[in-house]
Structure 1
Amino acid sequence: MSEYISPVPVPVPGAEPAEICREIYGMPMFVTVPSRDLAASRDFWMRGLGFVDLFSVPGQITHLRRWAFQDVLLVPGDPAGAAPAVRVGFSCVLSQIDEIAARCEELLPGCTSGPEDKPWNSVELEVVTPENARVVMTAARPLDPDGPQADWMREMGIEVPRP
């Protein structure tokens, strides 16, 4: 087996979140979110969703990041109306789901739905940000190879080794 290089921790009981990554690298993927109020958006993403401001050019762009390869660029602009401006998912660990939900609800009551257990062995929390972006925070559960999620995954053709 090759070396595990993902910044996402292996889903085991007690998994700790990855450190915030402040390195400068070629971003393999990022999302750009238009905002009418960059300062308010920056505050929500940082205090609610746990991002840091990697750098900002006032009035032009705010580059936010959590773990490596979880980059969001906030830019001036009009967010989408009733439709989501964007829908994007970010990995986290189980212990962060309730914390993120509580912080986001404190900042913007009614902005979260979930968390919800998914049959593919994750827990997902959806957050609607002030820009109307739909952010899904997803945490993998430790997989019991004899449990119902493993059975479901096998039925879907996903290889799940038995102990």
Structure 2
Amino acid sequence: MSEVQSPVPAPTPGARSPGISRAIYGMPMFTALFVLDLGAAVSWYVEGLGFASPFTVPGSSGRALLHLLRWQFQDLLVRPAPSAVTAGTGCTLSFAAVYDEVPVDTLWITRDLTTSDPDGNVVVFTAARPPGSQEPAFSKQVERAEQAVVDCPNPESGMSLRNTTQIGGQLAHCDAWRQDRPSWLG
């Protein structure tokens, strides 16, 4: 088990953001984001969303790589795009938030804020909702899905894959499901 504590606070109204971390840590995961206008993108993330820019690395052509971060482990490496960026073809960036920072309750027991950056990348801030605030309709769908799960043993690998696919109200047969599985599953 890791000794590093998550910076995400408990899901309660009034929870406080842990703030921007100035700690030096190994980034276990980060997103490299290519943008058309480095200055506009950095301004949008820093001034609009509260990220910090702890350092910049100059590039050989004068262009830079910028490190942006919000909470610990919410790192972005922002680089100039080698060519024009087409809005909406980028990526979706998801960040943890505290309950009171985001306005929209979802069916899947979170509260979200969704927006787009100047290059059309979708940015989502998600906070868990407090225990006991489940949506009854979503809870029933999850219960039905759990009841519909069957094991589909794969004779070649010996692994058992879980199948929740329903076709016409009936659970799909494991053999039919195997025909549609991705090739990397073997």
With the shorter chain as reference, the TM-score category is: 0.7 to 0.9
Q: CA deviation at 1:16?
A: 0.5
Is the Cα–Cα contact under 8 Å of residues 86 and 119 in structure 2 kept in the other structure?
A: no
Instruction: Choose which of 138, 141, 146 in structure 1 pairs with 2:126.
Output: 138
Secondary structure (helix, strand or coil) at the match of 2:124 reads strand
Partner of 1:42: 42
Q: RMSD between aligned alpha carbons?
A: 2.6
Q: Which runs of 5+ in 2 are unaligned?
A: 147-186
Partner of 1:57: 57
Q: CA deviation at 1:79?
A: 5.6
Partner of 2:73: 69
Counterpart of 1:135 in structure 2: which amino acid? V
Structure possessing the higher relative contact order (Cα contacts under 8 Å, 6 or more residues apart): 1
CA distance in 1, matches of 2:137, 2:5: 24
Secondary structure (helix, strand or coil) at the match of 1:127 reads strand
| Runs of at least 4 residues off by over 6 Å | none
Can you list the C-alpha shifts for 1:64-100, whole angstroms capped at 9, x where unaligned?
0010100001101146414331111001112222xxx
Q: Percent identity?
A: 40
Question: Which entry has the higher C-alpha Rg, 1 or 2?
Answer: 2
What does residue range 42-121 of structure 1 map to in structure 2 within 5 Å? 42-58=42-58, 59-77=63-81, 78=83, 80-97=85-102, 115-121=103-109
Is the Cα–Cα contact under 8 Å of residues 62 and 74 in structure 1 kept in the other structure?
A: yes
Distance verdict in 2 for CA 1:149–1:47, change over 3 Å:
farther
CA distance in 1, matches of 2:3, 2:42: 35
CA distance in 2, matches of 1:10, 1:71: 21
Can you list the C-alpha shifts for 1:91-113, whole angstroms capped at 9, x where unaligned?
1112222xxxxxxxxxxxxxxxx
Secondary structure (helix, strand or coil) at the match of 1:9 reads coil
Partner of 1:20: 20
Partner of 2:114: 126
Q: CA deviation at 1:49?
A: 1.4
Q: Which runs of 5+ in 1 are unaligned?
A: 98-114, 158-163
Count of matched residue positions in the alignment of Structure 1 and Structure 2: 138
Is the Cα–Cα contact under 8 Å of residues 30 and 71 in structure 1 kept in the other structure?
A: yes
